[in-house]
């Protein structure tokens, strides 16, 4: 089971990429019938919600202001977060982690999340690397990490909060 990554600052691109690799590892753990799927899912929900919310509140607005990404890219990324959150909630609502329904819903989450990670790395993080100064990326990394940590501490991955986020999308 991957440990939840600590909230440290630095280059926002590197922090986001580290979370992405963590998500991929958590998905692998969820596919393994021998793992504690409930515990892995609880951690994944917490980090996924914190990550997406921190991106939407701290990263995307700054990259937009710096003209690294445009309004359409922000809207598209936020839409993909909404899709991922809905797939996450559907998985969390399955009581039996050994059931076919759990496997089906895990597949849906994996597809949505993998698609988003790929697009975000190409269409958001690449422009952040080339169109934004290192100082801005570091300041953004600090703000992202601080917000992510605050959200994790708040219990953002509890099913009631995930349901509220999905219903408000």
Please state the φ and ψ torsions of residue 97, each to the nearest 5 degrees: -70, -5
155: alpha, beta or left? (left if phi > 0; alpha if psi -120 to 50): left
Do 48 and 165 meet the contact criterion of CB atoms below 8 Å apart? Answer: no
Dig out the tokens for 157 from the structure: 């991955």
Statement: residue 1 has pLDDT above 60: no
Q: Are 16 and 59 in contact (CB under 8 A)?
A: yes
- For the cut 80, the answer to whether the pLDDT of residue 99 exceeds it is yes
pLDDT digits (tens, 9 = 90+) for 104-162: 999 999 999 999 999 999 999 999 999 999 999 999 999 999 999 999 999 999 999 99
- pLDDT score of 6 more than 70: no
Rg (Cα) of the chain, in Å, rounded? 16
Domain boundaries, the chain: 12-168
Taken as a whole, the chain contains a residue count of 169
Please give the pLDDT value at position 5.
Answer: 64
Task: Determine the pLDDT at residue 168.
Answer: 96
């Amino acid at each position: 089971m991957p440990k939840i990554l600590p909230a440290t600052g630095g280059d926002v691109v590197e922090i986001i990429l580290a979370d992405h690799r963590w998500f991929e590892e958590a998905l692998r753990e969820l596919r393994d019938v021998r793992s504690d799927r409930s515990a892995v899912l609880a951690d994944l929900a917490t980090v996924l919600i914190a990550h997406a919310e921190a991106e939407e509140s701290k990263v995307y607005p700054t990259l937009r202001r710096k003209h690294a990404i445009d309004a359409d890219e922000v809207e598209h990324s936020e839409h993909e977060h909404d899709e991922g959150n809905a797939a996450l909630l559907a998985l969390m609502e399955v009581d039996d982690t050994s059931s076919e329904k759990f496997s089906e819903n895990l597949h849906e989450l994996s597809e949505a999340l993998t698609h988003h990670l790929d697009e975000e790395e190409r269409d958001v993080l690449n422009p952040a690397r080339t169109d934004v100064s290192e100082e801005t990326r570091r300041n953004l990394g600090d703000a992202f990490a601080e917000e992510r940590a605050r959200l994790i501490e708040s219990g953002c991955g509890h099913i009631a909060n995930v349901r509220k986020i999905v219903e408000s999308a």
